[in-house]
Amino acid sequence: MRISLALVGVTALAVLLVPPLVRLDQQAVDLGAKLLSPSWSHPFGTDDLGRDLLLRCVYGLRVSLLVGVAAALAATVIGTAVGATAGALGGWADRALMRVVDTVSSVPHLLLGIFIVAVFRPGVWPVVVSVALTHWLSTARIVRAEVLSLRSRPYIDAAVSGGASRWRVAVRHLLPGVLPQAALAAVLMVPHAMWHESALSFLGLGLPTHMASLGNLIQSARGSLLAGQWWPTLFPGLFIIVPTLAIAGLAGAWRERINPRRRSELML
Amino acid sequence: MARLAGRRLLFAAPILLVVTFGVFAIAAASPFDPIKAYAGTAALGADAETLARLRENLDVDQPFTSRWWHWLTSALGGDLGQSSVLRQPVAQVIGERLVRSSLLCAVAFLVAVLTGTVLGVLAARRPGSVLDRLVTSLAYSLEAAPVFWLALLAVWLFALQLGVLPAGGLTDTASEQVTPGQVASHLVLPAGVLAVSQLPWFTLYVRQGVGDALAEDPVRGARARGLSERTVLLGHALRSGLLPVLTLVGSRVPELITGALLVESVFSWPGIAAATVQAATAVDFPLLAALTTLATAAVLVGNLLADLLYGLFDPRVKFSDM
């Protein structure tokens, strides 16, 4: 828990502060220093164009996190809207919406993402949209279940008998109740979205190659890897793993706080 | 059981219909132009009249709903269209590659299930022990690791540094024929990496299931009767602990497909997934549409399989209730 908090803190600081403070050009090419193995001056070594990998990784994490957060937010908004609508309306609307959720979730995420990116051509927005459109399903299910359980509470009955409209009950009374769950789902989705972005970028279907996301870093390191240089591949991958574990650890602790009964559930 | 399977198939048909319809709708909403994809660079210099004729010939001047209907009716007749990037009929592409992908996935899944069971039981036996903590933290780290990254590192270690296994492909480049021995040696790395990517999830669930079962009454009873620890662990705890995991096995098909997509593309394994990436890069719509439908069908079959397994292994579950 403390380690996770510290790691998330360090990650956030690095991503937010390093680019404006360290006024080094991460794209600056220095062919005289290409593919240096890790040393004191370059802790992660350099890539095939002589750029410092630590700096590249921090910038890559920044790009990947931005895309991940944007996609997770969009997915949470879609999921909350669908889940809350289904739960609040009930009846055939609920059944129809949940059928849609079931249908979309029977297409493998990455494949659907690939399809969306393929027809819209790779770029930042298609990646965000494709991740958002494939990741809202679990949020919709969670929010719907939460709304259903809230609907039977006395305070909702009180609001309804007090003459509150359906819309008012949904927005003023149900939505605040589901927000903690939705927010938790959003936080847990960020690493997922990052993973997804890096997978798409790795396949050459993600962000444009000049944007140094972690997936692009791994993709562009393939040539060096086949020539035997392991560090341009290893470090960007670690930059995906460590924040993922830290966020999962933090979200797990948070989940235990907001619903202590689910202690036995797995974190990831 | 047959009734359950039949009912599920009845449900699957509308889902597949909706998915194919969605695929056509998304393509229609996108800037993707089938004519440019078909004609390639030749479309740049062509005059409007030729393009219009081409449009008419390929039936793309019609709204996407009628194109979808046309695709659907011919697909039911076995004609899935022509893949532009592989220059083959789509049905033939799938037929050739499905075997290789299934081989890869089946081997990987089997290895993952067996290793995961062993590791999970070992970890569950003494919760909090060094072994348990080692297995658990390794599983969490592997779960967080991107599979393509693991694949690349595996290539570096086993193919480049140690030189014990081939780095990719189905057979050696010099070889003319596809021999089982060659395929086996080329299968080890991709299947191993895919197995490792599926392993953490399985291990954690087995650990959880067996751990929970070890704290329950049947196990206490078995211990009280003086049964050996081995019988208690494997005969009682593992059996009831594996039940919840079994239902999840079938629902792991999407993750398996996702993993296979990435692993196949790293190792240039000539399977369905590699074709998907090629199709996506070149916007080969007929191939993409067919592959998306196929993957959805695989997921639905996986779900059905999970239900059937659950009913078979747990006598308390009746098929008529499902």
List the structure tokens of A172.
């003023």
Comparing A188 with B316, which gets the higher pLDDT? A188
In a domain, A247, yes or no: yes
Domain, as residue range, for A102 = 2-258
How many structural domains does chain A have? 1
- Please name which of A142, A175, A180 lies closest in space to residue A159, comparing C-alpha atoms: A175
Distance separating alpha carbons of residues A189 and A198, to the nearest angstrom: 14
Other beta carbons within 10 angstroms of residue B36's beta carbon come to 16
Residue B89: which H helix or E strand, with range? strand B88-89
Q: Please report which confidence band the pLDDT of residue A267 belongs to, taking 50, 70 and 90 as the band edges.
A: very low
In this predicted structure, the answer to whether residue B70 has a pLDDT above a threshold of 60 is yes
CA pair distance B1, B3, nearest whole angstrom: 5
Residue A76: predicted pLDDT? 93
B294/B273 Cα distance (integer angstroms): 11
Is the separation of the CB atoms in A11 and A246 below 8 Å? yes
> Could you tell me the two tokens for A84?
């809350």
Chain B residues touching A7 at Cβ < 8 A: none
**pLDDT > 50? residue A264:** no
What burial letters (b/e) apply to A199-221, b meaning 16+ CB within 10 Å? bbbbbebbbeeebbbbbbbbbbb
Report the run of H or E that residue B83 belongs to, with start and end. Answer: strand B82-83
Distance from CA of A119 to the nearest CA of B (A): 5
Residue B291: list chain A partners with CB under 8 A.
Answer: 111
Q: Is residue A266 part of a domain?
A: no
Full residue range of the structural domain in which residue B94 is found: 90-281
For residue A264, is it within any domain? Answer: no
What's the CA gap between A32 and A140, in Å, rounded?
53
Cross-chain residue pair A244–B254, CB shorter than 8 Å: no
For chain B, the average pLDDT equals: 80
Give the pLDDT of residue A74: 94
Assembly ipTM:
0.82
Q: Say which residue, A242 or B250, is predicted with more confidence.
A: A242
Determine, for residues B15 and A244 on separate chains, whether the beta-carbon distance falls below 8 Å. no
Considering CB atoms only, which of A107, A117, A202 is closest to B148? Answer: A202
pLDDT tens-digit map of B177-229: 667 777 777 888 888 899 998 888 888 888 888 888 888 888 888 888 888 88
Chain B residues touching A110 at Cβ < 8 A: 257-258, 261-262
Q: Which of the 8 DSSP states describes residue A36?
A: P
Q: Say which residue the tokens 């078995």 belong to.
A: B222
Yes or no, beta carbons of A237 and B276 under 8 Å apart: no
What's the CATH number where A66 sits? 1.10.3720.10
Question: For A117-144, what is each residue's pLDDT tens digit?
Answer: 888 877 888 889 888 988 898 889 888 9
Q: Is residue A265 part of a domain?
A: no
Between positions 86 and 105 of A, the ones with CB within 8 A of B are: 102-104
Residue A123, classified by CB atoms within 10 Å of its CB into exposed (0-12), middle (13-18) or buried (19+), is middle
Q: At what angle do helices B180-214 and B238-250 cross, to 10 degrees?
A: 130
Distance from CA of B296 to the nearest CA of A (A): 5
Least confident among A186-190, B14-18, B40-44: B40-44
Residue B308 has pLDDT above 90, yes or no: no
CB within 8 A of B226, min separation 6: which ones?
none
B272 touches A: beta carbon within 8 Å:
no
In this structure, is residue B300 part of a structural domain? no
Residue A202 CB partners (closer than 8 Å, separation 6+):
A215, A216, A218, A219, B146, B148, B262
Quick check: is A36 in a domain?
yes
- Greater confidence (B89 vs A21) lies with B89
- Residue type at B269? W
Query: How many structural domains comprise chain B?
Result: 1
Interface touch B285/A106, C-beta < 8 Å? no
* B197 occurs within a structural domain: yes
On whether residue A267 sits in a domain, the answer given is no
Amino acid at B62: Q
Evaluate if residue A78 carries a pLDDT over 90.
yes
Provide the percentage of residues in chain A whose pLDDT is more than 70.
85
Phi, psi of A52 (to 5 degrees): -65, 125
Q: Does A262 touch chain B (CB under 8 A)?
A: no
Q: Which of B 7-46 lie inside 8 A of A, CB atoms?
A: 15, 18-19, 22-23, 26-27, 30-32
Residues in A 105-144 with any Cβ partner in B closer than 8 A? 106-112, 114-121
Count Cβ atoms below 10 Å from residue A134 Cβ, excluding itself. Answer: 25
Closest chain B residue to A231, measured at CA: B153
What is the structure's pLDDT at A71? 92
| Model pLDDT, residue A36 | 67
Residue B171: which CATH number?
Answer: 1.10.3720.10
User: What part of B 74-113 touches A (C-beta under 8 Å)?
Assistant: none
